A and B are shown apart, each in its own frame.
Chain A
Amino acid sequence: MEQKLRQEAKALLEQKRVDWIIGFTPGSLKFTTTPLITRDKADTERLVINPFITNNLANFLTEIKGRVGIVAKGCESRSIVSLIQDNKVAREDLVILAVPCPGIIDLAKIERLVGKDRDELDDVSRDGDKVSVKVDGKKKDFAAADVLFDHCLACELPTPQEYDIILGEPRPPAPDLKVSGQNIAELKALTPAERWASWENELSRCIRCYACRNVCPACFCQRCFVEETEPQWTLPMPQWQDNLIFQIIRNIHVAGRCTDCGECERVCPVNIPLRSLTREMYDTVDELFKFKSGMDKDALPLMAHYEQEEAEDFFK
């Protein structure tokens, strides 16, 4: 898959079909990759596909000028489609290099399972449904389902629907909503007062780094409400009430665009379980409007159209 990617990417640049290639290359820390954004065909030799290609590369599309060849897992392809729907990116400017994705390894889960930090692990490798971790010279095997990101377990589109070049055999979706929705189920089991207290606790840690917003392909506004001063929707100080308002409004703004790629939760430096908000919104959108974002590039954006049979319970 990697060899084919390198060949294709190189050819795209050589034939001037694209100006840029966006993909993944090994990161500077163990078990990481880093986005590679390049015009240089020699760089294509450094492209990789492995169980650590965490980033959602669609995030870079709105700021790059020119035609782009982009490596896309299922989640990325959905973000790309959503951006096309919103007229943020033109389909003809893209060459989508589709990666059928078996899910990405969540190192935080491995850390919890083996009681070691990621940089103390000797090796992490995947073979089908098994993930092997070598630590202190010993090998431990885990079921992939125990160490993949929650959002990967819920993945409805492992293989992009919208693509130009496919880099492997398509994979069928097998979403496990029980495991991937465990956090949300636990929150829902609480009383409203307990749930409120839980979010107060979680959001008290927020430092307003805005990584959740900036890493989100659906958060493409040129001006974010959080930075407006007239009116000031929320204060820029990291007090939990304002942090909550920030998260709630952000979540509403990406409703119908969020593809549950899980990046907001992954990048949060203070471990706020943000996906519990975004996934709940994702499911709510589906329930109310029968709409899953990023599935059909010809569909109108959720908030830009109206169907007669849509729920309108709020008109009473």
Chain B
Amino acid sequence: MAKKASKKDVAQLLKKWSQQFAVLAPSRESGVAAMAEWDGKDTSFLEWYRNTVVPPKASFLPPMEEMFRFHKDEEGYQIEPPSRNGQKQLVFGIRPCDARAMAILDMTFEDAYQDPYYLEKRKNAVLVGLGCTNPCQSCFCTSMGTSPTDPTDVDIMLIDIGDHFLIEEVTAKGKELLAKTGGLKEATKNDEAEAKKSRETAYNKVSRKLDTEGIKDKLLDSFDDEEFWSQTAAKCISCGICTLLCPTCYCFDINDEVVKGEGTRFRSWDSCGFPLYTKMPMENPRSEKWRRVRQKVCHKYEFYPMAFDVIACTGCGRCIRLCPVNWDITQVIESVPEKVKGAK
């Protein structure tokens, strides 16, 4: 049975959770909307928050992360693991699109290679989802197998029912936390009905639609269509906004910083939109812009479905909203040509 909490009591709820977790919540304190350590009092984000600019993946795959330190002594190179604070994160207010993105990232990070940096944070974390009431014009989650109030990929889901949130325990982890939290009222039948209405209203507000039927095969067939890809890429400026701020993009670069014999190895966000990404001593297979744009589109809509049977796009719309030239992935996907009959 679902529970409920007054919006006015959110601060108290977060305070309770702060005793056990590093609570992250939407914040504009840094100058851009992102998930940031909750300051212990401010819940004004409940008013302004639609989604963050920086996706919550940043709390699990930070823009820059220390992998280890090293130095050389008489016995050779010595390696020290990074200092870990081991603190468990509770992400409050993650949107269903971004929670789905985390599930999509998990597939890569716990595939053949188990990535300890990502997985340690991820396994210890609790995701508290907050259903959208006011999706953006760029949102198209309902076309990507999720919705503004989809609880599938969070531990606890909150649905706006006026002056209260309906609270759903989704996973065992979420159930356990809610049981420990205490002080929550039971939701009534009326609350459940309100939540249903709230869900429907939000769902219907998502106006951008994308038909992805057969897209994997269409992309496969159009892979060599240089004319199409050149046209598609023409206005792209090869910046990293759409990839770095994509909640499902995970590429990173690895660099060493060595100061006076003391070294640190870092990994940091990288983008297939950059020519440097594929630069090798002899050649660069993606020196041309259209090849990089094709890679970005195909990775999400063709290669990821081949590997994991899911499109690596959740319709969060950041890439559309933030693009300097309004390069719109939904328009691109819809313009991928059908295979011409009789063509090779």
Residues of A within 8 A of B (CB): 27-30, 32-37, 55, 59-60, 63, 117, 119-120, 201-202, 204-205, 207-211, 213-215, 227, 235-239, 263, 266-267, 269-272
| B contacts with A: majority SS | loop
Most chain B beta-carbon contacts within 10 A, residue among A29, A37, A205, A209: A209
> Which one of B4-12, B99-107, B236-244 is at the interface?
B236-244
When C-beta atoms are compared, the residue in chain B nearest to A39 turns out to be B231
Chain A nearest CB, measured from B284 CB (Å): 12
24 cross-chain CB contacts under 8 A: A27-B328, A28-B328, A29-B138, A29-B326, A34-B325, A34-B326, A34-B327, A35-B325, A60-B235, A63-B289, A201-B31, A202-B31, A207-B54, A207-B240, A208-B244, A209-B240, A209-B271, A214-B237, A215-B237, A267-B324, A269-B53, A269-B322, A270-B54, A271-B31
The answer, yes or no, to whether B32 is at the interface (CB within 8 Å) is yes
> What residues of B have a CB within 8 angstroms of the CB of A272 in the complex?
31
Inter-chain contact A211/B240, CB cutoff 8 Å: yes
Chain A nearest CB, measured from B246 CB (Å): 11
The answer, yes or no, to whether B188 is at the interface (CB within 8 Å) is no
How many residues of B are in contact with the other chain, CB < 8 A?
41
Inter-chain contact B239/A30, CB cutoff 8 Å: no
> What residues of A have a CB within 8 angstroms of the CB of B32 in the complex?
205, 269-271
Inter-chain contact A30/B137, CB cutoff 8 Å: yes
Q: How far is the CA of A187 from the CA of B127 in the complex (A)?
A: 40
Residues of B within 8 A of A (CB): 30-32, 50, 53-54, 63-64, 134, 136-138, 234-235, 237-241, 244-245, 253, 255, 257, 266, 268-269, 271, 274, 276, 289, 320-322, 324-328, 330-331
Chain B nearest CB, measured from A250 CB (Å): 14
Q: How far is the CA of A33 from the CA of B63 in the complex (A)?
A: 30
Q: How far is the CA of A211 from the CA of B273 in the complex (A)?
A: 11
Contact of A238 among B53, B235, B245, B269 (CB under 8 A): B269
Q: How far is the CA of A210 from the CA of B322 in the complex (A)?
A: 13
Chain A nearest CB, measured from B330 CB (Å): 7
Chain B nearest CB, measured from A172 CB (Å): 30
Q: How far is the CA of A27 from the CA of B322 in the complex (A)?
A: 13
Q: How far is the CA of A34 from the CA of B255 in the complex (A)?
A: 36
Inter-chain contact B138/A235, CB cutoff 8 Å: no
Contact of B235 among A37, A207, A270 (CB under 8 A): A37
Contact of B240 among A30, A204, A210, A239 (CB under 8 A): A210
Would you list the 6 A-B pairs with minimal beta carbon distance, nearest first?
A119-B137, A211-B239, A209-B240, A267-B324, A34-B326, A27-B326
